Structure 1
Amino acid sequence: MKRSLISLPLSLILLESAFPVALAAPPRQPDKSVECEILVIGGGLAGAAAAYEGLLAGKTVCLTEITDWVGGQVSSQGVSALDERTTQRQRQFFSRGYLDLRERIRRKYGKLNPGECWVSVACFIPSDGHKFVFSMLQNAEKRGKGKLKWFPSTVVKDLEISQNGKLIESAIAIQHNPAKNTPPLNTEPLSQTIEDAYRYENSSRFDKTIIRFLPLKRTKKSQTTQPTNWYVIDATETGEIIAIADVPYRLGIDPRSHLEPSGANDTGDPYCTQGYTYTFAMEATKEPQTHQMPPFYSRYSPYYSFEAKRFNFASIFTYRRIWSNPNAPKELKIRSRETFGVTPPKPGDISMQNWTWGNDYRPGTAQDNLIYTREQLQALGQLQPSGWMGGLRVESLRGGEELSQGYFYWLVAGTTDSQLGDGVKQPHPNNRYLTGLNSPMGTVHGLSKYPYIREGRRIIGRPAWGHPEGFTLWEVDISRKNFREDYYRNNLSTEQYRRLWALLSGLNATAVIREALSPEQVKERSRSAIYPDSVGIGHYTIDFHPCLAKSPPETPGNYGYPNEAMAASQSYPFQIPLRAMIPQKIDNMLIAGKSIATSHSAAAAYRVHSFEWSVGAAAGTTAAFALENNLMPYQLVEQLPRQQPRLEALQRRLQQNGNPTAFPDTSIFNEFGKNWQ
């Protein structure tokens, strides 16, 4: 049956004046039906990794993506500078697919860092990122004898859910292509096309193909023993399928607690998610260029800044330089302190821009939040059948696009600095903004095809042992923060403070709870929480690009949401439990990417490139394993902490396939200490 109509409370109906309802026309009959064993929705790194492992397992995999590039961060989002931790990189302790990606970068350019950037050891051209990842999928299809069905420029509009509410039986999607005698895709930025992409009817811009995705038909004998004929993996950037299926999820800041001790306040705030970024590429030139001020520049110019005195134009240009001109004169190839040990910008160099006080758009209020809450979606009618329109505020998308285009003008012509004052910023006209379908971003307008999303909807896992309100990865599970700071004793209750230190004490937890040990007597563990159902790994700083307190975010003098980034710190190497990937209610859906069950603080670490690949690999492998063994993923973990032989078999498969589920020497008796940086 279709999703049932939702009865709107009177309070939400009254919100219609603030949220104009956008209901799509009822669908015509699908133009075609496509069968698959694994439907991966979202072609970012997590979705690509899920498809990669599914294909190597010999499965028929359908992969959809809103843009026409696969790879997400390394391609359509333009963040082609790999975020990695030092020790993990030195030991090459990554998933096999991620190592394959790194090796393809090296082979293409002759080195891993053709941009000689200083933020990473790998900075490269986003258009090449798409080619790397797509060729990996083709190779996996051939090696595993699977079948890849690739659907670019495709969004999922509706789900058909079983009568008992536990299974996704089909998904209705819309694929768009340019209408006759219209410009090619990627001519207009996303804010101008996204609503059209989610409407069933053809338009002056797009011709639409309506696709019904269905489980691959099996023999009658297998159907009697198989709990489901397919799995649906939500690997979208904002958790779209989570919202459409209406499974429990979180959004924004979580209330402060012993699990989330650095929470900004006691109530939480669903409107404050991390800032998102439209990246762009710029090229250094020998001669000055003519730059035209954008008509909206004055609106955003009070925002831009180098951020700190140690930064300047040269350091920001080289921070994410994705191409370093090898033919520049030798006298220009001298390393510089101003650029943190790399060569200064040279004519022909290309930089990708992703800067907090530059092109990070950081709305954080109910008036401008990008990702609509469930209540806002209800008021808009987007949770009604055929009502889904992407779940994003188009005005905020447009604001992010304008902020980014204005930032380029500020870099080359601006003379103000919102954080450092007058006299700091000087013009740098010897640069040009790169546009065109053959440019690094592959767009006529020059912006990335999709913004880099740092945080979206995050599921609440199923109630489990030790997690009666639903499984979640919390700040306290991974953080290296000094929780003895006065902030925690002053802002947590006595009971919360004791419970915090019980968690941090490792094997002494019972003694702390029984008050045989005081928090002051506890020796804090030096590792992350360990999970018996770990299916992947990650390691990164708990890193915030905090939302801003005032609306709109470009308001002069705006400032970060109070205490929103209090949790910022180093983390210990951490695990990805299978329970964090299994939503409530729906049994044949898995979650990959940034929408797994994390808190706001933990999500700030669980969001970078290698994590996305690891969790995607886990999702694809788990789906294949479940199909082959006639079981549901929740059955692998429902009896924890008892030993689970089938779960152990899945973990062995992951490890044997080169997808680590734990860091070396992980044990409740071992401490990482400072060995992993």
Structure 2
Amino acid sequence: MNYLNTDILIVGGGLGGVAAALAALKAGRRVVLTEQYQWLGGQLTSQAVPMDEHAWVEQFGVTASYRKLREGIRDYYRAWYPLTEEARAKSDLNPGAGLVSRLCAEPKVAVAVIDALLAPYLGTGRLTVLQPAIPVEAEVSGTRITSVTVRDARTSELTQITAGFVLDATETGELLPLVGAEYVTGSESREQTGEPSAPETASPDNMQAFSWCFAIDHVPGDNTIEKPRDYDYWRNYEPEFWGAPMLSLTGPDPRTLEIVTREFTPTIDDDPLALTADQSQAAGDRELWTFRRILARKLFTDGHFDSDIVLVNWPMIDYLEGSIIDSPAPEKHLEGARQLSLSMFYWLQTEAPRPDGGKGWPGLRLRGDVTGTTDGLAQAPYIRESRRIKAEYTVVENDLSVAVRGSGKPSTFFDSVGVGMYRIDLHPSTCGDNYIDVPSVPFEIPLGALIPVRLENLLPAGKNVGTTHLTNGAFRLHPVEWNIGEAAGWLAAFCLERAIEPRAVRNTPSILKEFQTLLAGAGVELHWPDITGY
């Protein structure tokens, strides 16, 4: 057993964990950051998902440190990649020209930028990163966590860490059951939350599907993989509401639920500079090749890349057969999701309809070098829904819904610690729900959603904040997770400096004002301008 002592322990090195670490380190604190996978960055890197963001992201609505991450990715391409002069000159360069985001890029580039942001603190020794490490045990005395033990995923070596504050930045709220925190899973009932889109009956097992993403390109030749073990099962798999087998290009439109057939054109010859992602107007998923494209070959000198590179995070790989949270068989579901994704890729290679009337694109390749794996899939599953703390304040649909509020004007909270914006966007669920898509107002992030009802030195730093099953659909995206983590990091450091508890910060007006002033000075936007949601 190894032993470490630090000011702030952050368990989970996703976007929220990285943002929390940077904030605490800027505040002068010592930090231990643990992460299960080989890359820091979570949904942006080990899960390989390009940034999902709101329509105003280039002007406002994110923290200064998140903007530094975004601009760092663009600068990395300008410094090291052979961009065309026209592409290099674009201040809002989108290396993938994907239609899901104004910044679609390779996950390994995001890794390089994240590592660079943390490098100065690793050099001083104030930051210790334990990787790959999984939390396995915790000790709690009264309302305070006294230690957390993590296990090295390669050697099984244990390290016990004591800290003044512990932040849970894991993808599924892994720390919450270990420390005995009060938490919620799945969907609440309408009676519990007052939300018009909530079901009549609560269902703790009803969670958004997770997906195992993968990166592909298309080159001449036959790159067909071996038929996946469970291909025949997934080839005939058709949820009641889907309108077609999932291994197809047909399925529900997330916003209208209309059954639509999408296009898939690996040979597309488009102009990437002419494309602009705008989620306020359209999801951009009618042509799947450009939907989550993370590298557009025509933005680089002629012949440097043989193909575009595309990240497959499509409705067809949403795994609906069960959850991995508080599940008796998480490994079964993880492997099931992997088999579904491999089966989707094999179907694209062998059966997907082509414009010439033929079937299959055998030139498609899995790009494990892009995702950092040998099998071509992402290192980790893409998690949309976590355990969620029971918080001093829980954000509900009525706080965010344009229809319920009767206006698209921003939603405000007296204890704002940041801002976010995304539609209440829920993927199909493990208990058979179809998409839920509710137009949302721009919202502030209330500090009350970061404060557990009982434990004093535990803070959530990701998707495990005080939201409901529904509002999690607006809080789960990249910039909001980063902002939550950044606020949690500053809050932990602020509380240590003043020897006070987080709930005292929220409930003491003068101290809350002091903390909000600190956040604003650090580049955290606390309020929206006069805009309207969508």
| TM-score, scaled relative to structure 1 | 0.68
Cα distance in structure 2, aligned partners of 1:257 and 1:546: 22
Cα distance in structure 1, aligned partners of 2:342 and 2:58: 37
**Is the aligned partner of 1:534 residue 2:493?**
no
Displacement of 1:584 in angstroms is: 2.2
The one of 210, 227, 231 equivalent to 2:158 is 210
Q: Give CA deviations for 1:446-466 in whole Å, capped at 9, x if unaligned.
A: 21111110001111113xxxx
Identity of aligned residues (%): 32
Corresponding position of 1:649: 514
CA gap 1:258/1:168 in 2 versus in 1, 3 angstroms: closer
Corresponding position of 1:56: 26
Corresponding position of 1:286: 220
Cα distance in structure 2, aligned partners of 1:433 and 1:291: 9
**Is the aligned partner of 1:455 residue 2:385?**
yes
Corresponding position of 1:135: 116
Cα distance in structure 2, aligned partners of 1:238 and 1:251: 10
Cα distance in structure 2, aligned partners of 1:360 and 1:570: 22
The one of 174, 183, 195 equivalent to 1:249 is 183
Gaps of 5+ in 2: 79-87, 237-245, 252-258, 266-286
CA gap 1:324/1:606 in 2 versus in 1, 3 angstroms: same
| Structural mapping, 1:45-444, within 5 Å | 45-79=15-49, 81-87=50-56, 89-110=57-78, 112-139=93-120, 147-162=126-141, 165-177=142-154, 207-215=155-163, 230-257=164-191, 259-302=193-236, 303-306=246-249, 307=251, 309=260, 311-314=262-265, 315-326=287-298, 347-357=306-316, 359-363=317-321, 368-372=322-326, 393-415=330-352, 426-435=359-368, 439-444=369-374
Q: Contact between 2:198 and 2:470, CA under 8 Å: does it hold in 1?
A: no
For the residue of structure 1 that corresponds to 2:135, the secondary structure is strand
Paired residue type of 2:129: W
Paired residue type of 2:174: E
Corresponding position of 2:281: none
CA gap 1:427/1:532 in 2 versus in 1, 3 angstroms: same
CA gap 1:156/1:290 in 2 versus in 1, 3 angstroms: closer
Q: Contact between 2:353 and 2:360, CA under 8 Å: does it hold in 1?
A: no
Q: Contact between 1:61 and 1:146, CA under 8 Å: does it hold in 2?
A: no
Q: Contact between 1:254 and 1:260, CA under 8 Å: does it hold in 2?
A: no
Cα distance in structure 2, aligned partners of 1:433 and 1:447: 8
For the residue of structure 1 that corresponds to 2:202, the secondary structure is coil
Cα distance in structure 2, aligned partners of 1:101 and 1:90: 13
Q: Contact between 1:55 and 1:141, CA under 8 Å: does it hold in 2?
A: no
Cα distance in structure 1, aligned partners of 2:201 and 2:299: 57
Corresponding position of 1:23: none
Paired residue type of 2:474: A
Cα distance in structure 1, aligned partners of 2:310 and 2:529: 36
Corresponding position of 2:277: none
Cα distance in structure 2, aligned partners of 1:48 and 1:318: 29
Displacement of 1:210 in angstroms is: 0.9
Paired residue type of 2:477: V
Corresponding position of 1:579: 448
For the residue of structure 2 that corresponds to 1:318, the secondary structure is helix
Displacement of 1:326 in angstroms is: 3.9
Displacement of 1:259 in angstroms is: 4.5
Cα distance in structure 2, aligned partners of 1:452 and 1:151: 22
Corresponding position of 1:622: 491
CA gap 1:134/1:327 in 2 versus in 1, 3 angstroms: closer
Displacement of 1:347 in angstroms is: 3.9
CA gap 1:168/1:318 in 2 versus in 1, 3 angstroms: same
Displacement of 1:565 in angstroms is: 4.0
For the residue of structure 2 that corresponds to 1:637, the secondary structure is helix
Displacement of 1:399 in angstroms is: 0.5
Paired residue type of 1:313: F
Cα distance in structure 2, aligned partners of 1:611 and 1:405: 30
Paired residue type of 2:227: M
CA gap 1:654/1:403 in 2 versus in 1, 3 angstroms: same
Q: Give CA deviations for 1:433-480 in whole Å, capped at 9, x if unaligned.
A: 123xxx011111221111110001111113xxxxxxxx2100110111
Cα distance in structure 2, aligned partners of 1:424 and 1:133: 45
For the residue of structure 1 that corresponds to 2:402, the secondary structure is coil
Displacement of 1:141 in angstroms is: 6.0
When Rg is computed on C-alpha atoms for both structures, the one with the higher figure is 1
Gaps of 5+ in 1: 1-29, 178-206, 216-229, 333-345, 381-391, 418-422, 463-470, 484-503, 505-523, 550-559, 666-671
Q: CA RMSD in A?
A: 2.5
Paired residue type of 2:325: I
| TM-score, scaled relative to structure 2 | 0.85
Cα distance in structure 2, aligned partners of 1:394 and 1:263: 31
Q: Give CA deviations for 1:123-153 in whole Å, capped at 9, x if unaligned.
A: 11112222211211124667xx771100111
Displacement of 1:329 in angstroms is: 9.7
- How many residues in Structure 1 have an aligned counterpart in Structure 2? 482
Q: Contact between 1:56 and 1:140, CA under 8 Å: does it hold in 2?
A: no
Cα distance in structure 2, aligned partners of 1:569 and 1:146: 46
